[in-house]
Structure 1
Amino acid sequence: NLEDIAQPKCFYILDELRKDCKVPVWHDDQQGTAAVNLAGLYSGLKITGKKIEDIKVGFFGCGAANVATVRILISAGVNPKNILIADSKGVLHSERSDLDDVKYDIKRHLAQITNPDNVSGGPEKIFEDADVVFCYTKPGPDVVKKEWVARMAKDAMLFACANPIPEIWPWEAKKAGARIVATGRSDFPNQINNSLIFPAVFRGTLDVRASVITDEMCIAAAKTLSECAEKIGLNEDYLIPTMDQTWVYPEVAASVGVKAIEQGVAKLTASREDLVKMAEERIRLAQEMTKLLMKEGLIKSL
């Protein structure tokens, strides 16, 4: 599990380790955040009736979270030609001379595969007619302006995920016209929390002894997370389950394991039903063991 690696090194390190190692390697700031973003998007699309291949997507910020989200959304069916990305200097496009430096390889690549019309300008440009915008920049409020949100498409979705204060307050974004607003906060509706993803991804990966955590496994986790929320009842204020809905984890773990088996990267095979039961039992044992260790004072509660 990779943590706290600055970009752009984090991208190269993850890619090389996934390619060369015989054990699964995961970078939560990239894969975990990207997968939970995709889960929220899947649910939002079900609510708005839009299709993933048609939506126009903006990204405010070009750090690990957004770059990984761009990559997984393209793998999941978003058309890269419908994507605009803005960093601190404005919209990425192929004619930006400041991206020639080798340290900007990732940004230069993104500029080449997105924004075919070479749209230029400040971050406000990515909001124009966008169906969804993902923001991973700096704590707000007022980092995202209400007038920017007002320029988004009908039934727009806004993911304002800076912590501890989102780039714009959810009620301000809704007042400006966004239909669905998600943040990283547990005290607001639609918390986008990668803790909903990585424990289940790890469980599913380990249960089938997968040698790698592929993008397709992450996409499977995102789909199942959205489907679990759908069973409870999707609405503008409930996109994905909350962390206390623990029945979700075995379901997500099983989907990850099934996908690993399908892709031929698992050393063990089992049915989905058996994988759900396996995850439930192992999670139950781990929880009971933790409680016992706390009771005996071997783990001290805070």
Structure 2
Amino acid sequence: MSNDKFREESLQYHKARNEFDTNGKIGTLITKPCDTEKELSMAYSPGVAYPCLEIEKDEEAAYEYTNKGNLVAVISDGTAVLGLGDIGHLAGKPVMEGKAVLFKTFANVDAVDIEINTKDTDEIIETVARIADSFGGVNLEDISAPRCFEIEARLKEICNVPVFHDDQHGTAVITTAGLINVLEMTGKKPEDLKVVVIGAGASGIACARMYKQLGVKNITMLDSKGVIHSGRTDLNKYKQEFAFDTPDRTLEDAMKGADMVLGLSGPDLIKPEWVKTMSKESPIIFACANPNPEIKPELAKEARPDIIIGTGRSDYPNQVNNVLGFPQIFRGALDVRATRITENMKMAASKALAALAKEPVPEHVKKAQGRETMEFGPDYIIPSPFDRRVLVYVASAVAQAAVEDGVARVKEFDLDAYKAKLQRLADHLDGKI
């Protein structure tokens, strides 16, 4: 399909299809009938006063009588939209609506997009803090670094609901799952790895932090000026966290002997001859730049037949797709009424994804991916986004971790019963029930 044709089809997709449709991708779903005089009086006045009074007595009752427990705010200032950059808060709205579509499609979570017309860090924090109680969780989206770090950190301290910046943590959760499986396949230990991260933005720093949590000690990070090392004087406090004494100055230098390279930068940055210099046994590359990765898988495999490679694209194996993470993470957090998303909850999501990749793949998932075989191995270390079991595995693991970390509001939690409930939801989303 030509780019011009796809552009026109995409524009038409976002417009109303008939006189009863609306423009955009999301709307309001009414969940209770309002067809009689009695139903009208319960939906609004005077019957609505009763749940209001219950919530006045106990704010936790909002989870029982409103949509709070299944509602996420997708909030952006439009400063780092996909591959488009700072295009303004309103121009980012189609992306935020799209995020809401993914929440509903993959985890039955309702979401509303909120575009904030300011780039001021304090104003964004104040705005989100004042509206957060209306929601069960807040998904920060497409806010530029380094502001995004402070915004998320401060909101997590202020708000009584989970605040999650998916641009930071989504890729971290999914690539950590892939790394866990590569370590199992190769017998390597995290403390012995040399990991190279190309890109020191929100996602790169979050990924590196999560690899540290896994046990990785040797991480070389690069920004647009080259290797981040202890001799540089132009580093913000977030980059300084990864500055150390090293002779490496370029990506070519850093890739020598590297066990893993994570690309979060731009197309065709990795040369095949550099891939040849990576570690002697089963090196791994996650080339996540979209639509064109840092190196195409066919070129990497020609240079090193033993390479394990994933990209952000759906037409290659091992797709690093954030839809494997944020809908299910919020599903688990919402269902136990979590006050925050902890590091353990994120790691639980990674381990759940890693575990699912070892299970036999259903035929309908193979068909959706256009592949005849999908078995745990170099070309299948991350589950498919089309596998509904992701919802069961990840949401249950996140919910259990929230309970264990003491951030869940629910007083009783039965893991087996919750998994069964998630399976019913997965079947419902698949149209089986």
In the superposition, the TM-score normalised over structure 2's length comes to: 0.62
Q: Could you list the per-position Cα deviations for residues 29-81 of structure 1 after superposition, in whole angstroms to 9, with x for gaps in the alignment?
A: 111111011011111112222112221111111111111101111112212xx
> Among residues 194, 212, 227, which one is paired with 2:322 in the alignment?
194
Specify which of 236, 250, 261 is matched with residue 403 of structure 2: 261
Q: Which moved more, 1:170-179 or 1:145-154?
A: 170-179
Residue 241 (structure 2) aligns with: 109
> Matches of 1:148 and 1:62 in 2, distance apart?
20
**Which ranges in structure 1 are unaligned for 5 or more consecutive residues?**
292-302
1:200 and 1:27 map into 2 onto residues whose CA distance is 14
CA distance in 1, matches of 2:340, 2:428: 25
Q: Does the 8 Å contact 1:207/1:275 carry over to 2?
A: no
Deviation (angstroms), 1:285: 5.2
* CA displacement, residues 92-135 of structure 1 (integer Å, 9 cap, x when unaligned): 11111222xxxx22112221xxx3x3334112122111111100
* CA–CA separation in structure 2 for the residues paired with 1:118 and 1:43: 29
Q: Identify the range of structure 1 (278-287 vs 214-223) with the bigger mean alpha-carbon deviation.
A: 278-287
Output the amino acid matched with 1:186: S
Q: For the residues of structure 2 that align with 1:285 and 1:188, how far apart are their CA atoms?
A: 29
> Is structure 2 residue 340 aligned with structure 1 residue 212?
yes
Matches within 5 A, 1:1-302: 1-79=139-217, 82-99=218-235, 104-111=236-243, 115=244, 117-138=245-266, 140=267, 142-154=268-280, 155-177=282-304, 179-232=307-360, 233-268=375-410, 269-284=412-427
CA contact (8 A) 1:58 1:134 kept: yes
Conserved 8 A contact 1:92-1:110: yes
Higher relative contact order (CA 8 A, sep 6+): 1
Classify the secondary structure of the residue corresponding to 1:189: coil
RMSD: 1.8
1:58 alignment partner, SS class: strand
| Secondary structure of the structure 2 residue equivalent to 1:78 | coil
Contact map agreement 2:285 2:308 (CA 8 A) in 1? yes
Taking the aligned partners of 1:45 and 1:234, their CA distance within structure 2 comes to: 13
> In 1, are the aligned partners of 2:198 and 2:222 still within 8 Å (CA)?
yes
State the secondary structure of the residue aligned to 1:166.
coil
C-alpha distance in structure 1 between counterparts of 2:189 and 2:242, whole Å: 22
Asked if structure 1 preserves the Cα contact closer than 8 Å seen for 2:258 and 2:278, the reply is yes
Q: How many angstroms apart in 2 are the aligned matches of 1:186 and 1:265?
A: 35
- For these two proteins, the number of residue pairs brought into alignment is 278
2:279 maps to a residue whose letter is A
Give the secondary-structure state (helix, strand or coil) at the position aligned to 1:224: helix
Kept in 2, the 8 Å contact 1:59–1:126? The answer is no
Distance in 1 (alpha carbons) for counterparts of 2:260 and 2:248 = 19
In structure 2, relative to structure 1, the CA distance for the partners of 1:258 and 1:39 (3 Å cut) is same
The runs of at least 4 aligned residues of structure 1 exceeding 3 Å deviation read: 281-288
**In structure 2, what is the Cα distance between the partners aligned to 1:260 and 1:45?**
26
Instruction: Report if aligned partners of 1:87, 1:123 keep a CA contact under 8 Å in 2.
Output: no
Work out whether residues 257 and 275 of structure 1, in 8 Å CA contact, stay in contact via their aligned partners in 2: no
Moved more, 277-286 or 208-217: 277-286
- For 1:282 and 1:238, how far apart are their aligned partners in 2? 26
Distance 1:125 1:67 in 2: 20
The secondary structure found in structure 1 opposite 2:352 is: helix
8 Å CA contact 1:92–1:120 kept in 2: the answer is no
**Structure 1, residues 258-279: CA drift from partner, whole Å, max 9, x if none?**
1111111111131321221222
Structure 1 window deviating more from structure 2 (253-262 vs 13-22): it is 13-22
Alignment partner of 2:192: what SS?
Answer: coil
Query: By how many angstroms is 1:287 displaced?
Result: 6.5
2:327 aligned counterpart, secondary structure: helix
CA distance in 1, matches of 2:302, 2:186: 18
Q: Structure 2: give runs of 5+ residues left out of the alignment.
A: 1-138, 361-374
AA aligned opposite 2:298: W
